[in-house]
Structure 1
Amino acid sequence: MPRVSISQVANAKDAEDLKCAICFQMPEDPRVVSCPAKHMFCNECFTRWVDKSGKICPQDRQRFTKMQNPTPNQSSTLKNTKYYCKHKRDGYKFVGTSEEVTKHEPVCPEAVVTCTVPNCDRSMKRKGLAAHNSNKKREHEQLKKKEICKLNADPYKALATGGKLEVFLEMKALRKSTWVEVEESSESSEDSEDSDDYDDSDEDEEGYWAY
């Protein structure tokens, strides 16, 4: 399940009190160390810390003997912490638990999506997609016909998709969405290194389908 960012926590005090002191996000698969303050960390973060630094709490530098599950109060607070949808806008603020927000975001009406009709590529909020498809129905039909002609003229594409435009479009959409997820993940990582931007729109489509 995708992780909800600490920047989406609705109550700033909850975020400050519960965040992992190693990755500064809300703890994932949380563990508590047996120091007096019972500080909480992500299991993965803390395992790496112990392997490198030994049994010393990274928050107060106190030695500890073991890791344990969160206290009932900590578990309850984590479970009931409220988050904003990452697509929140003025006047639209979906709020829910981590699980509820994770389920909501892929269908959020405020999320910006791109029309999947080939060579349309217009972006809009998801709530406007139905109206866009209705208003551009004739234009979309023409674009699809052009794509079918290109598909039929290329034996490699026809072989890869069985000659079906919908299969070709699904493969293109999947490829595009994968790059969008990678780019979003890269932007949200504070520690990520600078890298060259990848412009999917400039990639030679023939190169992708060539065998």
Structure 2
Amino acid sequence: MTVSTARSTGVMALLRAEILGGALLPGTPLRESSLAVRFDVSRRTVREALLSLSEHGLAVHRHNAGAVVRSFTAEDILDLYRVRRMLESEGVRSALTAPEPALAAVSKAFEAVEHAARGDSSTVLAEADMAFHGSVIALNGSVRIDEFYNRVATQMTYAIAILQRHEQGGSSQTEVIVAEHRAIRDAVVARDVYEAQRLVLDHIHIYERKLLAIAGEQRRSVSRRPAAEGRRRGSSPG
């Protein structure tokens, strides 16, 4: 790894942490010049970091406007969760014949969810959450399916982190999260394919609906903003 690559990777990791942690909100501009000054690196290094963020689905480039932190649309949510249904449904079906080490990996991933739920980081919990679902998908035993999931896992983690911050349910909400994942773990380890399938699909449906509601709120907020700014300009002394 070259020095330049190491620097861009470092900047990307810092920005990723701030996006997942909520320090950089959806729609926040990611300006090369200001980020270069902030991190004391070249604009080229920042450009490479922003490109990597885009490849992971955490930023989008707008024509003549540069990069901004991704905001999820309803279409984004529906698309991501269609992918989850396909991959996780196939994963739980494979539980019937999956080798014991693969089932043990699901249990270990659940323990990480439990541990993260005892902390106060929405990012850590979201990452543990999606790692658990990744372990369910891995029951397929397909390297290519795992690689495909890994390409969209960061976007899914980001979506879950947004939801957890939005709900801010404290211990009661984390208890629900742990209970839902425990039930899925138990069904998978017991090789109860029917029950695991039901639990996974119910879980996905609930979180898809919640994220669609948040996306709708954000869309309405953005649409109200220009009107409010117009009223302020109109009331200014001239």
The interval holding the TM-score normalised by the smaller chain is under 0.3
Give TM-score, length-normalised by structure 2: 0.24
By percentage of residues, which structure has more helix?
A: 2
Give TM-score, length-normalised by structure 1: 0.26
> Could you say which structure has the larger radius of gyration?
1
By percentage of residues, which structure has more strand?
A: 1
Greater relative CO (CA pairs within 8 A, separation 6+): 2
